[in-house]
Chain A
């Protein structure tokens, strides 16, 4: 392949006084699902809408399927599938009618009924859009993005606001698209979503990529097998003391909860308990988990994704 499905270099976008995108670089490779992971307000939607040709950047370069926006946009749109954040389709149309409408815009594509079946809305084909549940509407949005048989899919927050079951259903659909070898760029602020769906992720904060790579690789870069969280009431402990504990490779504190990155749990826990006893601190909480992208984000920014 001469050019990747999507190549972004030095993207900048400012709204009034707010810098939404601040020098963003991305590359989506053929057949991969690439995730933009970051808290709300990190500039993910601004960035993806520039890639979709829906807004123009102040600076930087976007090459989509080897083409730049403003050259032959209609042909380019014919090859893209787009799902925006918070599109409300017309409540008065049925699922089938909505699909036929969107199919009519594309030169070639998939039969509306086939796409409806694929997103498991076959039973709802004659139902008005206004009567669908949140998850069904989101699957309809995905179907509208797929009906033109796109080479590249843009999915902006595909599962935001859905209940866990509806999210899992959507994940299965996206995994299926990925296995078909479609190139996908999706944005999300759910780290479990990015971990499960994406071949590679870029962690975005304040309009810029602060880390990128395969989710596994990013997590392993922490050098920690486990994350250990504990609280000791109002007592303030010395970070340096914690970092020096046996089997601990990193420590930070937020909202009274200490967080240790641990390489060897069986050595770190006894060491921690002993240190606390020496300090006369009472343990009020203790839990461990395997590290996630959330821990990567916390170690990079000192903030939690879900807090925003």
Chain B
């Protein structure tokens, strides 16, 4: 090294700067990595937020004054909305699910009613209880016990709380695999990789620049999504920040290695897109991003548990929602490390520079 060169003239620094520049000058990449997860979280948060306060829709079949009287009696309950419909329209609404239950009031004057509903639908079963309760009271039932309601919504048990760690894991996987895979295959396609190894550049530094840029962009990526979730939706952050940072760094390393492995020999952008999607698609479905992975049959559970994204999301949920420490998520951390130890040396062995 000649004297007077600044630290920014070092090749590792220059290579890492190139990674940032290429990323930030690709508006689409910035959108998918930063904006998309926030938009998705916002959309899901809004869609599922109002649910506990929903009123159960109930239909009353008939158009005469008896039907009106029954509807009036039902409306005294704060938990239901009532629509009076002609008999055929009521049947249609039940079938379409826009009402959970239909009350047939023909024999109301004789103090009898019929309820029509699908007992496999939990909402309909609840509607049956609510409607019956309202009608019995209207007819004069008095309750021997007086009850008062305390309504609470537990932060950490809502859907948004469930889905934010899932999105975080999905983002770690996507940006790890995409950013590396795309950049390397693009450089190979341009014969830039070949040109680079015609210089005295260290190949290890070239690969390390991907890891370094990934780790520093990670802070921004995780920070924006998690910050948004905490500030806007009040998602609780119960575990220690250090555990969270540890999981994220380990996940980023593991997924970056997986990206290197995917890109190690592919010659075309189409090829690397296809291969990346092939690797990621099963994990989007099975690893519990949007719904719990335990919904899948027991027979496939061991395989699902071994997927890197499952381990990452489980570890994130345990830390963020339940405050688990590193010891409690040991098995998940081992799986993530296992993928790293497996994919990185393999990627180096298979890697084609020319």
Interchain CA distance A100-B354 in the complex, whole Å: 23
Residue in chain A with minimal CB distance to B354 = A54
Q: How far is the CB of A113 from chain B (nearest CB, A)?
A: 13
- B1-43, CB under 8 A of A: which get 1 and which 0? 1100000011101110110011001100000000000000000
Q: How far is the CB of A247 from chain B (nearest CB, A)?
A: 51
Residue B197 CB within 8 A of the other chain: yes
Residues of A within 8 Å of B11, CB to CB, are 101, 104-105
* CB-CB nearest in chain B for A76: B200
CB of A86 within 8 A of CB of B191, answer yes
User: Which chain A residue has the least Cβ–Cβ distance from B22?
Assistant: A92
Binds B, one of A22-30, A77-85, A254-262, A268-276: A77-85
Q: Type the 1/0 row for A133-171, where 1 means its CB is closer than 8 Å to any CB of B.
A: 000000000001000100000000000000000000000
User: Which of A77, A88, A100 lies in contact with B199, CB distance below 8 A?
Assistant: A77
- Residue of B2, B15, B25 near A107 (CB, 8 A) is B2
A107 neighbours in B (Cβ, 8 Å): 1-2, 200
Interchain CB contact under 8 A, A84 and B190: no
Is B328 among interface residues, defined by CB-CB distance under 8 A? no
CA distance A38 to B21 in the complex (A): 40
* Residues in A neighbouring B10, C-beta threshold 8 A: 104
Chain B hits for A80, CB < 8 A = 198
Verify if A102 is at the interface (C-beta below 8 Å from B). Answer: yes
Which residues in B have their C-beta under 8 angstroms from that of A87?
Answer: 190-192, 194-195
B201 close to chain A: CB less than 8 A: yes
Shortest C-beta distance, A242 to chain B (Å), equals 48
Which residue on B lies nearest to A144, using beta carbons? B195
Q: Give Cα A250 to B25, complex, Å.
A: 62
Chain A residues with CB under 8 A of B196: 105
Q: List 8 A-B contacts (CB under 8 A).
A: A53-B198, A82-B198, A84-B194, A88-B191, A90-B187, A104-B9, A105-B11, A105-B201
Complex interface: chain B residues within 8 A of A53 (CB):
198
Distance from A261 Cβ to chain B, minimum over Cβ atoms (Å): 41
**Which A98-113 residues have a C-beta within 8 angstroms of B?**
100-108
Chain B residues with CB under 8 A of A89: 190, 192, 195
**Cβ-closest 6 pairs across A and B:** A88-B190, A104-B14, A104-B11, A77-B200, A105-B199, A92-B25
Q: What is the bound-complex CA distance between A87 and B195, given in angstroms?
A: 7
Closest chain B CB from A74 CB (angstroms): 5
B22 near A93: Cβ-Cβ < 8 Å: yes
